[in-house]
Amino acid sequence: MNARFAPGDRVRMRALHPGGHTRLPGYLAGRSGEILRISGYFPVADERALGLRDARIEAVYAVRFAFAEHEVVADLWERYMEAEA
Amino acid sequence: MNVDHDHVDSAVLTRRVDALAAELARRGLLDESAIVETLDLFLTHARPSNGFRIVARAWCDPAFKSRLLDDASAAIAELGMDMRHWSPVQLRVVENTAAAHNLIVCTLCSCYPIGLLGPSPSWYKSPEYRARAVSEPRAVLAEFGVRLPRETAITVWDSTSELRYMVLPRRPEGTQGLGEAELAALVTRNGLIGTALV
């Protein structure tokens, strides 16, 4: 399996795609975070929701997001993010 | 925490489930025995005592604790437990320390390690908890009676994918002499979610 990102990498979540199912929560769309670890490789929920039997298996990362008084860690598929410039 | 419980009328829900089951059976997609088997598994295996046992073992056995924090799915198999009874998910256990507190939520729906904690409480599934756990966890914790020092770091784990989370609470002071079974009796379900200390 290939993982594009490694622990410590800074990534930015993409905007929510219009329509359809996703497991990228709205409050994290567009937000920057740091890869904490690779959580595993799983069929992409967005494709499974379309009933695709051969949904692509993609890296899922635990991504850490800093908020004012706490942090949130969420497990997110690679396609939801891009390297931060 | 005050939460309005907007229960669906149970008679309506029962009719809906019966109609769905009948239609699935008619199409040959489901038979009654599969439902009975699943319910049996649920009623006999999904109990918070599973989580309590895991915590007590981790408190007593540092090597087990280390394996648990590293690969929880593999570690709980040592105790004869398997999350995969329920769905193809992985377990991750996160440890509370003097410096760091963990809280579990699923903002998108209601993902929860049912096999280890039993059925989830209604507040866990409420829109209020799901929204506020990630926006103001300190206030939410205070409403549950958990008041943490300002310097305690709070990490909220949002179950957005195929991982389920369980908190490993701190072992209470003055419990050195207790055995595993006695320690397990001290653990609470909310302690495993992070909305209580033990």
In-domain check, residue A37: yes
In-domain check, residue A43: yes
Q: Per-residue pLDDT tens for B16-27?
A: 989 998 999 899
In-domain check, residue A69: yes
CA atoms within 13 A on the CB side of A52: 13
**B107 — contact with chain A (CB < 8 Å)?**
yes
State the pTM of this model. Answer: 0.89
**A59 — contact with chain B (CB < 8 Å)?**
no
In-domain check, residue A52: yes
Q: Is the pLDDT of residue B4 over 50?
A: no
CATH number at residue A19: 2.30.30.50
Q: Per-residue pLDDT tens for B59-106?
A: 999 999 999 999 999 999 999 998 766 567 899 999 999 999 999 999
In-domain check, residue A1: no
In-domain check, residue A4: no
Using a CB-CB cut-off of 8 Å, the residues of chain B touching A77 are 161
Evaluate whether ipTM surpasses 0.85.
yes
What does the alpha-carbon distance between residue B97 and residue B113 come to, in Å, rounded to a whole number?
Answer: 22
In-domain check, residue A2: no
Q: Per-residue pLDDT tens for A24-75?
A: 999 999 999 999 999 999 999 999 888 888 889 999 999 999 999 999 999 9
SS (H, E, C) chain A: CCCCCCCCCEEEECCCCCCCCCCCCHHHCCCEEEEEEEEEEEECHHHHCCCCCCCCEEEEEEEEEECCCCEEEEEEEHHHEEECC
What's the total number of domains in chain A?
Answer: 1
CB pairs under 8 A between A and B: 62
In-domain check, residue A5: no
What are the CA-CA distances from residue B31 to residues B20, B28, B44, B48, B86 (Å)? Answer: 12, 7, 21, 29, 18
Select from A25, A27, A70 the Cβ nearest to the Cβ of B155.
Answer: A70
**B156 — contact with chain A (CB < 8 Å)?**
yes
Residue of A nearest to B92 (CA): A39
Domain span at residue A27 reads 10-83
